[in-house]
Amino acid sequence: MSVPIGSVRAVSDTAISRQTAQDYVDRLERRDWPGLTGLLTDDVVYEMPQTRERIRGREAFLRFNIDYPGDWHLRVRRLVADGRLAALWLDVRVGDEQQDACVWLELSEHGLINRIVDYWPEPYEPPQGREHLVERW
Amino acid sequence: MSVPIGSVRAVSDTAISRQTAQDYVDRLERRDWPGLTGLLTDDVVYEMPQTRERIRGREAFLRFNIDYPGDWHLRVRRLVADGRLAALWLDVRVGDEQQDACVWLELSEHGLINRIVDYWPEPYEPPQGREHLVERW
């Protein structure tokens, strides 16, 4: 047996985190509120550092999502999972508008999401002086 | 041997990606340009989706960083690595100003960084109507 126990457990935690992160997006996208509830700890904390907003608890977080305005749709662009952590790079659409999001998840020892941190980066104009190094798309 | 070869290799790729992502930040922070060069493929691509800017090649990317204005400092808040992917959540300081960044890395089969995608989310005012669900900090 050349693989230490710790590595085997880490692979298993990672597999759970990867599946849970994918399920988190899928259930939000489907508005599967009971399914989403099943992924979250009772006292999950949701943070948006750009607005310095924090929501505490599963019930308030569900309500926030149920009430969120617009016909929003989520697609995973990238999912990186490691132990009890996961990072999601999302393609978010509301009607004709598109925005990317960066989401950081922490899972509890029982594989439930207990912390979510969302970033919603907005487009902006690049500063002058680096045109010789960059191309635009 | 109960662990399939694939899992063992995945752990190893992940370990390399984790170390490379940490080194990437450390060498930028130290302005260790030869050290940074050693982490990158010749044709590394750097993208900033918010400005739709793209920089192609190690030389141009090094120049971009060497010329970047301000006494900037980087600290890893979170690092998530999985196979040849890594995600970095950074605390960036320039003088008294602080901003978070989300960075997505892809590594080549030789363990060098061949794609970097940076997001620089800015603070904004939260929309009205959810004050009953959130606290501010």
For position A111, which CATH number holds?
A: 3.10.450.50
**Could you tell me if B61 and B48 are in contact, meaning their C-beta atoms sit under 8 angstroms apart?**
no
Q: Do you know the residue count of chain A?
A: 137
- Tell me how many degrees the CA angle A119-A120-A123 measures, rounded to the nearest 5: 135
Tokens encoding B55: 């920089």
- Tell me how many degrees the CA angle A100-A104-A108 measures, rounded to the nearest 5: 150
Shortest distance between the Cα of A57 and any Cα of chain B, in A, equals: 10
- Partner-chain contact B104 A78, CB within 8 Å: yes
The total number of structural domains in chain B stands at: 1
**pLDDT tier at A116, thresholds 50, 70, 90:** very high
Percent of chain A with pLDDT over 70: 92
Tens digit of pLDDT for each residue in A34-61?
999 999 999 999 999 999 999 999 999 9
Task: Share the mean pLDDT of chain A.
Answer: 93
Burial class of residue A125, CB neighbours in 10 A (0-12, 13-18, 19+):
exposed
Average pLDDT over residues B54-71: 96
Helix axis angle, A5-29 relative to B5-29, nearest 10°? 80
ipTM, two decimals, is 0.90
Q: What is the pLDDT of residue B1?
A: 41
Which residue type, as a one-letter code, is found at position A18? R
Tokens encoding B31: 């302005």
Q: What is the pLDDT of residue A31?
A: 98
| Strand-pair partners of B40 | B113
In the numeric block, the tokens 């041997």 are attached to B1
Cα(A66)–Cα(A49) distance, integer angstroms: 21
Average pLDDT over residues B31-49: 98
Shortest distance between the Cα of B70 and any Cα of chain A, in A, equals: 13
Q: What is the pLDDT of residue A7?
A: 55
Identity of the residue in B8, B120, B125 whose CB atom sits nearest the CB atom of A121: B120
**Could you tell me if B45 and B114 are in contact, meaning their C-beta atoms sit under 8 angstroms apart?**
yes
Which residue type, as a one-letter code, is found at position A47? E
Which residue type, as a one-letter code, is found at position B13? D
In the numeric block, the tokens 């010329």 are attached to B67
Provide the greatest CA pair distance for chain A. 58
Q: For residue B55, what is the nearest residue in chain A, using CA coordinates? A: A134
Q: What is the pLDDT of residue B7?
A: 55
Q: For residue B83, what is the nearest residue in chain A, using CA coordinates? A: A80
Identity of the residue in A2, A64, A136 whose CB atom sits nearest the CB atom of B130: A64
Average pLDDT over residues A19-31: 98
Neighbours of A105 (CB within 10 A): 22
Question: Between A and B, how many residue pairs show a Cβ–Cβ distance under 8 A?
Answer: 142
- Partner-chain contact A104 B137, CB within 8 Å: no
Q: What is the pLDDT of residue B9?
A: 56
Q: What is the pLDDT of residue B57?
A: 98
SS3 category, B53: strand
Is residue A83 left, alpha or beta, with left meaning phi > 0 and alpha meaning psi from -120 to 50? left
Shortest distance between the Cα of A119 and any Cα of chain B, in A, equals: 7
Structural domain span for residue A74 = 5-136
More confident residue, B129 or B112: B112
Q: Do you know the residue count of chain B?
A: 137
Shortest distance between the Cα of B15 and any Cα of chain A, in A, equals: 10
Tens digit of pLDDT for each residue in B81-121?
999 999 999 999 999 999 999 999 999 999 999 999 999 99
Identity of the residue in B8, B49, B133 whose CB atom sits nearest the CB atom of A100: B49
More confident residue, A10 or B84: B84
**pLDDT tier at B73, thresholds 50, 70, 90:** very high
Burial class of residue A14, CB neighbours in 10 A (0-12, 13-18, 19+):
buried
* B2 pLDDT higher than 60: no
Q: What is the pLDDT of residue B59?
A: 97
What global pTM score does this model have?
A: 0.91
Q: For residue A69, what is the nearest residue in chain B, using CA coordinates? A: B129
Q: Which of residues 65-104 of A touch B (CB under 8 A)?
A: 67, 78, 80-82, 85-87, 89, 100, 102, 104
> In sequence order, what are the residues at sequence separation of 6 or more whose Cβ sits closer than 8 angstroms to the Cβ of residue A110?
A41
Task: Share the mean pLDDT of chain B.
Answer: 93
Element (H, E) at B26: helix B5-29
**pLDDT tier at A103, thresholds 50, 70, 90:** very high
